[in-house]
Amino acid sequence: MSDAGRYPEIDLLRGIAIVMMIVFHTVFDLTFFQIVPFDVADGPWRYFAYATASLFLLVAGISLAISHARTASYLHGRALAQKFLLRGAGIFCCGLLVTIATWWYLQEGFVIFGILHLIGVAVMLSPLFFRFRYWNAVIGIVFIVLGWILATVPGPAGLLVFGIHPLTFWSVDYTPIFPWMGLVLIGMAAGEFAYPGGERRWALTGLPLNAIVPLTFLGRHSLVIYLVHQPLILLVLSLATGAPVV
């Protein structure tokens, strides 16, 4: 989407999610490398992480609805589906880069199916769901409920992407299809409602555009920032503390 066709409120929300992600990953790294002890596995920081991932995925769903409405004006059928398939595959490949990097750096607990993998899969599967429009909210809730159920079912590592995993499995970022794709679907329903035909339903007034430029900038470049922020955090921590984190 060109800058002229972007909605600042969408970039703002995505930018807020980026800031939340950077804050959490900084706290996580401080704990992981035993620099400052935070309880990131439970309590407020765990829910902060859930809120961050949820905001990312809801905004991804809203953006998908807008993109589909606009793209459907000039592409149809197989060509339309192929566009989202290729876009999702590109995001999934970025997730594979995260897998390789975390495997090389961490070995144990590396990312097998994290949020980029999930968003990539969701984008690839989205052509199957656009037809359901507002009903995607209901389907999304079903995904979430199924995710809660499947989380209690141990199983082979081959089912990790669906939310079923061995009891000993752990990862620094694990975002399976159930329940997390449910939030993308709810976002798609919200986007269908708030941006019918890819156009904002209501006039937006009072948004301080100049004041939110830093956040909207982050939102416009969220994928690149996602890929580079963690090495930068580690570098800053290493320089600031002298701890061997890089």
Q: Is residue 40 part of a domain?
A: yes
Q: Is residue 246 part of a domain?
A: no
Q: Is residue 64 part of a domain?
A: yes
Nearest CA-CA partner of 124 in 168, 148, 162, 91: 91
Instruction: Yes or no: say if 164 and 150 are a contact pair by the CB < 8 Å rule.
Output: yes
Q: Which residue has the tokens 């299809």?
A: 177
Q: How is residue 186 written in tokens? A: 């709810």
Is the peptide bond between 208 and the residue preceding it cis, with omega within 30 degrees of 0? no
**Which amino acid is residue 34, in one-letter code?**
Q
The boundaries of the domain holding residue 77 are 3-241
Helix axes 222-241, 77-106, angle to 10 degrees: 10
Nearest CA-CA partner of 219 in 17, 2, 1: 17
Please give the tally of structural domains in the chain.
1
The predicted model scores a pTM of 0.94
Q: Is residue 141 part of a domain?
A: yes
Q: For every one of its 246 residues, what pLDDT tens digit does the chain have, with 9 covering 90 and above? A: 545 578 999 999 999 999 999 999 999 999 988 888 899 988 999 999 999 999 999 999 999 999 999 999 999 999 999 999 999 999 999 999 999 999 998 888 999 999 999 999 999 999 999 999 999 999 999 999 999 999 999 999 999 999 999 999 999 999 999 999 999 999 999 999 999 999 999 888 778 888 899 999 999 999 999 999 999 999 998 888 776 665
